[in-house]
Structure 1
Amino acid sequence: MPESGSAKKTAAPRRRQARGERRIAQLLAAAAGVFCRTGYAAASTNAIAREAGVSPGTLYQFFPNKEAIAVELGGQLLRRAHEMHGQAFLPENLDKPLPQLLDAVLDPVIAFNCENPAFWALMHGSGVPGIAQEHEELHTGLLARVEGILHTFAPDADPTVLRHVSNMTLGIIKSSLDLILATEGDERAAYVAELKTVLLRYLEPMVAATPGTAAGDARLDTP
């Protein structure tokens, strides 16, 4: 049977919507590439349009300016980051010895940042108000997760000490990600291994001093 008039009217908007969604995804992918190469401040809508293979006029049909593109891209990346943190900080990871716990938490974090370099470029270099606020909320949540893990390993530790150690731990990870993201292949793997070694040696004294943990029991069994 021939398609009815109402069906044609319904199908046309859906096709236009699908085309619009594909165009937005194309522009956001292009923006991610430009932000990574030049940084947010030096990026321009013309460069993003050129990267996407469209005219600036086409870009402005979807985004009024560079900041709007950054907010949309940053929002998507932040949602993925929240999902990744949920995978990294699974409750069952707390039952693992410290070296395996570091693997379980750090591997997803490092993989996410390596697969989404625009996340690092936007979160730490854009200064866009909406992104900065959401990133601060993400950081606060991450800090609370790290403090929670350390409290599990060292329940009698002073809360101020736990906060300081948690902040230092995140600072070490952040600094190391600069090196990790700037390298590839074996060199990147070497920096990842060094990061885990640094955190293990930094955190192990706190963990080892606590009876009931894997490291603490190992110390108590040492003659």
Structure 2
Amino acid sequence: MTDEAGGVRPRRRQARGERRMEQILDASATVFARLGYEKATTIAIAAEAGISPGSLYQYFPNKKAIAQALADRFVTRMRSAHQDAFDSIDFVAIGLDEVLDRIVDPIVAFNIAHPGFKALFARPDMPEGLADAARPIQAALLGRIEAMIGARAPGLPETERQVTARVAVQIFQALTPLVIAVERDEREAMVGELKKALRGYLGPVIG
């Protein structure tokens, strides 16, 4: 069954604990998306997870700790979405429409699959801990966009390339909530509008 040095039972307890933490984080993402960070409570998160508040506190001391753990998970998954969007793609060899398909689709899919993401990272008063978690991945995304622009428009001055990348990211971030908010049967058309806006802005520069 087990031994004093740590056998089956300790490993099973550890696995159960990890599953419970994932359960709490899944529930917190749902609650943050529904109520927003400020109105969300640990009681609401525990209820969504189907556990008692006391059980929740065995894993997380407060809402901020839950948000930090959820932010870390979001950042890890977002990094994977960025890799899907940018890695192993020759942006010079394909047209602008395909560039937008390859970049926009996986990142939109991430936002749809993780509805609590915006509730944490789109806040103007984001706690410093969450800002620290998000800053590297945001900087990496901006760097990837700048590199793509530089590859397609090698003569573009560095300052203009940086500004173009920042504005393109802002357009994406501004329109993504509209994509997420519509019903599923309308989403493809709304994604098309998002790409149209990006095409209209980026076309004269890298089209």
Counterpart for residue 26 of structure 1: 23
CA drift of 1:9 comes to: 5.3
Aligned to 2:82, which of 77, 85, 101?
A: 85
Counterpart for residue 54 of structure 1: 51
CA drift of 1:186 comes to: 2.9
Counterpart for residue 40 of structure 2: 43
Aligned partners of 1:93 and 1:104 also within 8 Å:
no
Give the alignment of 1:1-223 within 5 angstroms: 6=3, 10-94=7-91, 95-125=93-123, 127-208=126-207
In the alignment, structure 2 segments of 5+ residues that lack a partner are: none
1: distance between equivalents of 2:3 and 2:89?
53
1: distance between equivalents of 2:162 and 2:115?
28
In the alignment, structure 1 segments of 5+ residues that lack a partner are: 209-223
CA drift of 1:69 comes to: 0.5
2: distance between equivalents of 1:8 and 1:204?
63
The sequence identity of aligned pairs, in percent, is: 40
Amino acid at match of 1:187: E
Aligned partners of 2:46 and 2:52 also within 8 Å:
yes
After superposition, give the CA deviation of every residue in 1:145-175 in whole Å (9 maximum; x if it has no partner): 1111111111111111111111110010001
Amino acid at match of 2:120: L
1: distance between equivalents of 2:76 and 2:102?
20
2: distance between equivalents of 1:58 and 1:90?
41
Aligned partners of 1:71 and 1:128 also within 8 Å:
no
Please, what TM-score do these two structures have when normalized by structure 2?
A: 0.93
Give the length in aligned residue pairs: 205
When Rg is computed on C-alpha atoms for both structures, the one with the higher figure is 1
Q: Which has the higher helix share?
A: 1
1: distance between equivalents of 2:6 and 2:149?
59
Please, what TM-score do these two structures have when normalized by structure 1?
A: 0.87
